[in-house]
Copies of this chain bind each other. A is one copy, B any other.
Amino acid sequence: MPYKTVETGEFAGWLCWADDPFESHAGPYYFREDEHGPVAAFRARPHQMNGAGFMHGGCLMTFADFALFALAQPDLAGDHAVTVSFASEFLAGAAQDEWIQARGEVLRNGRSLVFVRGLVTAEGRACLNFSGTIKRVAR
């Protein structure tokens, strides 16, 4: 199975990829589906900050890359896929202990390419706008 359900703590009931070393290390990041559709989230922790005390842009982009796949899960329907292109704008900083969340939508689910866009927020404040193209691959 490509993902597992978290059993305890703040994210009990959420899913995360079962075996992705960098996502566990940089995150961990979580996702689930609620009444508004797929949502990805995590709680900002000290190892994710930059030298100025705000969340590192690389952590936000890693989470956004994770979110591309979380948001596309229903459309991918089990297919493997890789990121082809990624674009983002940094709107505001995020601070330690804040609730970081991403929502968005699949704009087109093509035969080969899936187009996704989303917005990362910190306690509801827009932090990172992102869009990405992912490509189905045989594994």
Q: Which residues from chain A sit less than 8 Å from chain B, CB to CB?
A: 2, 17-23, 25-26, 46-52, 55-59, 61-63, 65-66, 80, 82-92, 107-108, 112-113, 115, 117, 119, 126, 129, 131, 133, 135, 139
Contacts and interface: CB of A to CB of B under 8 A. Distances in A.
Question: Could you say which of A2, A57, A107 has the most chain B C-beta atoms within 10 Å of its C-beta?
Answer: A57
B86 A87 contact: yes
Nearest to A115: B89
Number of copies of this chain that the complex holds: 4
Given A25-B48, A57-B82, A57-B83, 17 more contacts: A2-B51, A22-B26, A22-B48, A22-B59, A25-B25, A25-B26, A57-B62, A57-B86, A58-B58, A84-B84, A84-B113, A86-B87, A89-B133, A91-B108, A107-B119, A112-B112, A117-B117
B133 A133 contact: yes
A73 to B, nearest CB: 14
Contacts of A135: 112-113
Nearest to A59: B22
Given A84-B89, A84-B90, A108-B92, A56 B62 contact: yes
6 contacts: A21-B46, A22-B59, A57-B86, A84-B90, A84-B113, A85-B85
